[in-house]
Amino acid sequence: MSENLSVEVHSYIKSVIYCRESKQHQSIIYTIEGSCFKKGLYYEELFVYARQLLNKCLIESKEKFNKSLIIAHLDLKGLTMKQIDTNFFKKMIVMLQSEYEETLEKLIVTNIPVFFKIAYKIVRPFIDRDTKKKIFFEKKNKKGSLEFTNNDDIFEDL
């Protein structure tokens, strides 16, 4: 990321996208915090940083776990409808699929607010079939405990 960016901008971007090591999953987890995302703010800087961080994560994954894959985690806890920008997410999906198509082990989406279903229906057509198979959604089962499914029909009840 550019040295010219203010500390405030740099801090904001690092709060939206960051990575960490997961020994449990034997992977590097690339996290996007939905609640920290600010609609219309520093998109170009976010894309530059997202690429730089992804490249760094892939190097770490190869060094630590001997694999060229990462797990992406989209945490939507606290996300509000005002923050949703489907054009931004379409652009992010296209960038990730075109530049990092073979590097995604899986994408885990947690803390899904009800209105996310509408946004997902808009961006879903931009996600290729192979990538859709790697997406796992958190949901509550009949007993109230959390489980994960990669069957996105949980969004079909709109």
Q: Write down the pLDDT at residue 157.
A: 47
What would the pLDDT profile of 141-158 be if each residue is shown by its tens digit?
677 677 777 766 555 543
pLDDT bin (cut points 50, 70, 90) of residue 39 is: confident
Beta-carbon-side half-sphere exposure of residue 1 (alpha carbons within 13 Å): 21
pTM beyond 0.75: yes
pLDDT averaged over every residue in the chain: 82
Q: Write down the pLDDT at residue 152.
A: 60
In this prediction, residues 59-73 reach a mean pLDDT of: 92
- Measured between its terminal Cα atoms, the distance across the chain in Å is 40
pLDDT bin (cut points 50, 70, 90) of residue 1 is: very low
Question: Structurally, what CATH architecture does the domain formed by 7-155 represent?
Answer: 3-Layer(aba) Sandwich (3.40)
Q: Is 7 exposed, middle or buried (0-12, 13-18, 19+ CB in 10 A)?
A: exposed
Q: Which residue, 120, 111, 114, 117, is CA-closest to 138?
A: 111
Q: Write down the pLDDT at residue 153.
A: 57
Phi/psi at 28 (5° precision):
-95, 130
What would the pLDDT profile of 17-36 be if each residue is shown by its tens digit?
899 998 888 899 888 888 88
